[in-house]
Amino acid sequence: MPNVSPAEVEKSLKGINYLQRNKNLIKHAQQQGANQDVMGVLKEMRDQEFNSPMDVSKAIGEVRQQQP
């Protein structure tokens, strides 16, 4: 996984109303022109409902822990 910070991901999610599932975060980030690294991280996150930017940060941490 590329080294993407939660801040980079959050920048790509600017303006989103939370209480969204992962597929909606991905769609929003695409519309915002997110780079491939950010998109890759979003796609690797488990499917769940995200209630806040903190939930997204936690999910990014989980993805990093799964990587060798």
Give the pLDDT confidence of 21-53 residue by residue, as tens digits.
999 999 999 999 999 999 999 999 999 999 999
Quote the percentage of the chain above a pLDDT of 70. Answer: 96
Instruction: Supply the pLDDT for residue 28.
Output: 98
Q: Are 60 and 45 in contact (CB under 8 A)?
A: yes
Higher pLDDT, 1 or 24: 24
Tell me 4's DSSP state: -
Q: Which two tokens stand for residue 22?
A: 């992962």
Ordered by start, the domain boundaries in the chain are 6-66
